[in-house]
Amino acid sequence: MARFHQRVLGCALLRAESYEEVEADRRATVQAGAVVVLAAAAAGIGGVANHGAPGILWHAGAQVVGWWIWAYLTWFLGTRLLPGVHTSADPGELLRTTGFACAPGVLRALGLFSPLAGALFIVCGLWMLVAMVVAVRQALDYPGTGRALAVCALGFPIYAAIQVTSLLLLGPWPV
């Protein structure tokens, strides 16, 4: 079994074998949740100038809720609406793989030190979305990326709505 930091790095680098490993390890669900919380805290730290210190906790909570909903939605879409010939997955497998797909989000903490924080958030967000497609492809045993991309495209608007709602509810905090 790989160490936590090796799993995080492997998933951030979009290595299919890293996603296969976390998919198979039922004990990695807590680790996946930790990756989500770390990435969310990084977003809060990187955006502290906009939302203050309370934004860190708010981002963490919203990200965990969004992750959980998106993972279950992805499981439903991938196993019921768009299953492949070899698709066999349980919700835990999607929780683990999609949680580790948040690994690139840890870099958002660098926004605290960068005048280009907005661009950094966009790049990390796109990287996380690509990681999500890889995670879904591996968890749902799709032979190609097209079906995984379709599942993510169908579920992403729900996840995005949760995140936008979270930011709207957070509002501007005094720094």
Tens digits of per-residue pLDDT, 83-134?
999 999 999 999 999 999 999 999 988 888 888 888 888 899 899 999 999 9
DSSP 56: H
Q: Residue 93 has what pLDDT? A: 97
User: Rg of the Cα trace of the chain?
Assistant: 16
Domain positions in the chain are 4-170
Task: Look up the pTM and report it.
Answer: 0.89
- A 10 A CB-CB count for 41 gives 19
Q: Cα separation of 65 and 80, whole Å?
A: 22
